Amino acid sequence: MGSFSVKPVKVGICGLGTVGGGTFNVLKRNAEEIARRAGRGIVVAQIAARDTNPKCDTGATPITADVFELVNNPEIDIVIELIGGYTIAKELVLKAIENGKHVVTANKALIAVHGNEIFAKAREKGVIVAFEAAVAGGIPVIKAIREGLAANRINWLAGIINGTGNFILTEMREKGRAFADVLKEAQALGYAEADPTFDVEGIDAAHKLTILASIAFGIPLQFDKAYTEGITQLTSADVNYAEALGYRIKHLGVARRTEAGIELRVHPTLIPADRLIANVNGVMNAVMVNGDAVGSTLYYGAGAGMEPTASAVVADVIDVVRALTTDPQNRVPHLAFQADLLSDHPILPIAECQSAYYLRIQVQDRPGVLAKVATILSERGINIESIMQKEAEEQDGLVPLILLTHRVTEQSMNDAINALEALADVSGPVMRIRVEHLN
């Protein structure tokens, strides 16, 4: 691996709560990989926080209780604002910009309500304000719309963009739980806003929708014009009736371009149960974006939480560092990592790859065969997850034996299959299909 001749970029983290703690941890844990992507090291030079975070070992990193000390710290190049809310956050972001610092924020309320003013100031000072984490947590949907879909005229977008609300609706539908009870759990899990009415009344979703609509349609941020209806009036009966009709109720944010204007609305919505987005459950978020060239696309992932949100914050920090470091032609390296820092980590031959397996073996229907099959697998350390024997299909005395195994190397499975195929009780080749649970 190459070394970094350029000195590291120094960042300051304001707020050490759920997202701040996650951001510190990800920057520290992935420091080397991040530097290979960014082309420079990234060092947390200071943290501003009133309290420590038990999930975050800040070591020797200097901590101040005064955010403005951090914002005025001449060493710091990038201020990461993770305290939330409108007032102090706005003041510190404007001050950071005034001081010529780049800003990364996860604050959707701040961007939706004061973004126009903040961006004007940033343009004046020639600094970047990045806010990927403000919408749908870890899902890079802002990057997808702003860069990946840049060729398109966006027609509409629709999203489940509040994890707390989606968690409540999912629990009501799946377990028949009461609204208030589920909300308490979401608060305990750290998903809910400081004021949970922001979640259940759709205000948080409207903040995010306002931002998405602006980057999709190229309009100023206009949070005050968003229609917002919450989920507090929904009953389990509605959820069940919708289900009986083949629909799911989701709290959806919809932004649609029409001839007359742009629809900007958050409200409970029935969606046909077989749509992918109708099956986004729990605290997960998903955003569908429809463009004239690409058609419909769907982005799915964790919309809140410590490290998913940190994932978006740190990606923004890397973007800023790349912009500071590399020539404009090569702002994002072709292979995502800096060209001279590509790794020689080897690609595994398939024999060394690991997978779970589905096996279908045609065996003679007689005593002891199953034991022989099981022995061959166990001798190679292959653990059987489940086993199913179907009735004989033909008059040839053969029955299909279906096995699911735990994960093993392909080499072990090749050996086992060779041994199985050599058994007199096994007819023909063993059918092998790899299984990935993707969990």
Catalytic residues: 208
Size of the site for ligand HSE (CB under 6 A): 11
Q: Which is nearer to ligand HSE, 285 or 355 (CB)?
A: 285
Residue among 22, 137, 268, 333 that touches ligand HSE (CB under 6 A): 137
Neighbours of 155 (CB within 10 A): 17
Q: With binding defined as CB under 6 A, does residue 199 bind ligand HSE?
A: yes
Stretch of 93-101, 189-197, 267-275, 312-320 lying at the interface with ligand HSE (CB under 6 A)? 189-197
Q: Which is nearer to ligand HSE, 18 or 412 (CB)?
A: 18
Q: In which residue are the tokens 């799915």 written? A: 300
Q: With binding defined as CB under 6 A, does residue 163 bind ligand HSE?
A: yes
To ligand HSE, the closest distance from the beta carbon of 101 in angstroms equals: 24
Q: Which is nearer to ligand HSE, 42 or 134 (CB)?
A: 134
To ligand HSE, the closest distance from the beta carbon of 203 in angstroms equals: 10
Q: With binding defined as CB under 6 A, does residue 201 bind ligand HSE?
A: no
Residue among 46, 73, 107, 162 that touches ligand HSE (CB under 6 A): 162
CB 232 within 8 A of CB 179: yes
SS3 annotation, the chain:
CCCCCCCCEEEEEECCCHHHHHHHHHHHHCHHHHHHHHCCCEEEEEEECCCCCCCCCCCCCCEECCHHHHHCCCCCCEEEECCCCCHHHHHHHHHHHHCCCEEEECCHHHHHHHHHHHHHHHHHHCCCEECHHHCCCCCCHHHHHHHHCCCCCEEEEEEECCHHHHHHHHHHHHHCCCHHHHHHHHHHCCCCCCCCHHHHCCHHHHHHHHHHHHHHHCCCCCHHHCEECCCCCCCHHHHHHHHHCCEEEEEEEEEEECCCCEEEEEEEEEEECCCHHHHCCCCEEEEEEEECCCEEEEEEEECCCHHHHHHHHHHHHHHHHHHHHCCHHHCCCCECECHHHCCCCCCCCHHHCEEEEEEEEEEECCCCHHHHHHHHHHHCCCCEEEEEECCCCCCCCEEEEEEEECCEEHHHHHHHHHHHHHCCCEEEEEEEEEECCCC
Q: With binding defined as CB under 6 A, does residue 252 bind ligand HSE?
A: no
To ligand HSE, the closest distance from the beta carbon of 344 in angstroms equals: 39
Residue among 24, 156, 191, 217 that touches ligand HSE (CB under 6 A): 191
Q: In the stretch 275-314, what mask flags binding to ligand HSE with x, by CB under 6 A?
A: ----------------------------xx----------
Q: Which is nearer to ligand HSE, 251 or 257 (CB)?
A: 251
Q: Which is nearer to ligand HSE, 149 or 283 (CB)?
A: 283
Residue among 77, 81, 204, 319 that touches ligand HSE (CB under 6 A): 204
The pairing of strands 262-272 and 227-228 is: parallel
Angle between helix axes 306-325 and 31-38 (nearest 10 degrees) is: 40
Q: Which is nearer to ligand HSE, 192 or 318 (CB)?
A: 192
Which residues, 399 to 418, sit near ligand HSE by CB under 6 A? none
Distance in angstroms (rounded) separating the CA atoms of residues 387 and 306: 39
Q: Which is nearer to ligand HSE, 134 or 242 (CB)?
A: 134
Stretch of 28-36, 192-200, 231-239, 425-433 lying at the interface with ligand HSE (CB under 6 A)? 192-200
Q: With binding defined as CB under 6 A, does residue 24 bind ligand HSE?
A: no
To ligand HSE, the closest distance from the beta carbon of 11 in angstroms equals: 22
To ligand HSE, the closest distance from the beta carbon of 19 in angstroms equals: 9
Q: Which is nearer to ligand HSE, 170 or 412 (CB)?
A: 170
Stretch of 152-160, 169-177, 188-196, 417-425 lying at the interface with ligand HSE (CB under 6 A)? 188-196
Residue among 77, 132, 193, 319 that touches ligand HSE (CB under 6 A): 193
Q: With binding defined as CB under 6 A, does residue 171 bind ligand HSE?
A: no
To ligand HSE, the closest distance from the beta carbon of 402 in angstroms equals: 41
Reading the block at residue 102, the tokens are 């780049």
CB 34 within 8 A of CB 314: yes
Phi then psi for residue 325, to 5 deg, are: -100, -45
Q: With binding defined as CB under 6 A, does residue 132 bind ligand HSE?
A: no
Q: With binding defined as CB under 6 A, does residue 209 bind ligand HSE?
A: no
Contacts with ligand HSE, residue ranges (CB under 6 A): 137, 162-164, 191-193, 199, 204, 303-304
